[in-house]
């Protein structure tokens, strides 16, 4: 089975969030709880539904991730952008969620 995490957008401000092991929505994918078996995925889905019903988050999804050297990385590009920020320079001085990067000119 592929490892999975639960992601959503916080209703209050639209920021991408991930569910951690304590049932809290956090802003870093690296702090997310990783489901490694079907029962854990079912628990994530149930928690996501409750959070949606309680108007905490929207666009709740279980997504596939890989783990290499202790770093989580989504398998789909859409989820990578949600986790790391834009894949291009967005505007002068804006560096996305992951901070400054070196871009070749």
Q: What is the pLDDT of residues 33-92, one digit of tens each?
A: 999 999 999 999 999 999 999 999 999 999 999 999 999 999 998 898 888 876 666 666
* Residue 61 belongs to some domain of the structure: yes
* Residues in CB range of 53: below 8 A, 6 or more apart: none
Indicate whether 100 pLDDT > 60.
no
Q: Are 42 and 35 in contact (CB under 8 A)?
A: no
Give pLDDT, residue 25: 97
Alpha carbon distance 65, 68 (integer Å): 10
Indicate whether 98 pLDDT > 60.
no
Q: Are 9 and 17 in contact (CB under 8 A)?
A: yes
Residue 33: both structure tokens together: 């709880």
How many domains is the chain built from?
A: 1
* Residue 44 belongs to some domain of the structure: yes
Indicate whether 103 pLDDT > 50.
no
Indicate whether 26 pLDDT > 50.
yes
- Tell me which residue range forms the domain holding 77: 3-84
């Amino acid at each position: 089975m592929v490892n999975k995490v639960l992601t959503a957008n916080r209703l209050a401000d639209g920021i991408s969030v991930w569910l951690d092991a304590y049932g809290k929505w956090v802003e870093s994918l690296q702090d997310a709880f990783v489901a490694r078996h079907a029962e854990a995925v079912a628990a994530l889905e149930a928690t996501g539904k409750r959070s949606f019903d309680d108007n905490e988050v929207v666009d709740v999804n279980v997504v596939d991730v890989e783990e290499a050297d202790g770093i989580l990385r989504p398998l789909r590009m859409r989820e990578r952008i949600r986790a790391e920020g834009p894949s291009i320079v967005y505007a002068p001085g804006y560096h996305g969620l992951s901070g400054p990067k070196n871009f070749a000119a």
